Amino acid sequence: MVVVVGFVVPCAGKTSRQRSSLATIRLKSDSQLRDSFILGLFPALTLAHTRALIYFETLKNSTPIEFVVSENDAKLRLDQFLAKRLPQYSRSRLQQLIRGGFVRLNEQTIRPRHIVRGGDKIDLIEPPPEKIEPRPEPIPLDVLFEDDDLIVINKPPGLTVHPGAGQREHTLVNALLSHCTALSGIGGKERPGIVHRLDKETSGCLVVAKNDLAHREL
């Protein structure tokens, strides 16, 4: 359990001894950070400690993906090893997770270019997805039909239906929020009114619900 009381503040003009005296506890490892109650101000909180805080906070609601490095995979970079074992992740995404403190090697945070060795234990946790609240955008729509309950759109190719990790704006949902005064909330804030979808490069008709009753009926 980690409890932090206080704020990280700059200490311009103070000596290292003065900066150290502002902390009640000096921590030397991530394991100490995990099991300690931290009181006071930490102007000199290290990047490793910050990453450990992020890791253990996220771990509360996540199950880590665990690997043990074989001798055949020894001498690979950490990001290369993970890319080999987790092809569903892009190399850049894995590097982001490593730098963000969501990957630990032998219970320590490490850099993407670190060379792994046989027997190394690697844990990866995926941070929870960032909540997306799309905003209205005046994007033209090809409306085929509309009444109080639903709207039928002729979706052109190249238009993403709803926001996601790869695209947060310029989607059909953004256009619908601008065009419609109300949409069904069953799909959540990220997918208001969306009953079904088409791939980005696929054109065709989409039926969108304006209220929850219409959504359930569809």
Closest CA to 174 of 206, 210, 201, 134: 134
Residue 24 has what DSSP assignment? S
Structure-derived torsion over alpha carbons of residues 202, 207, 213, 216, reported in degrees to the nearest 10:
-40
CA distances (Å), origin 174, targets 142, 162, 184 = 14, 8, 14
Catalytic residue among 120, 147, 199, 212: 199
What are residue 125's DSSP bridge partners?
none
Q: What letter does residue 194 receive in the DSSP assignment?
A: B
- Tokens representing 65? 């993906």
Contact 162, 175 (CB under 8 A): no
Task: State how far the Cα of 37 lies from the Cα of 26, in Å rounded to an integer.
Answer: 11
Q: Is 212 a catalytic residue?
A: no
With CA atoms as reference, report the closest residue to 6 among 43, 31, 36, 33: 43
Taken in order 122, 127, 128, 134, the sign of the CA dihedral is negative
Q: Please calculate the CA angle 99-104-106 and round it to the nearest 5 degrees.
A: 145
Active site residues: 199
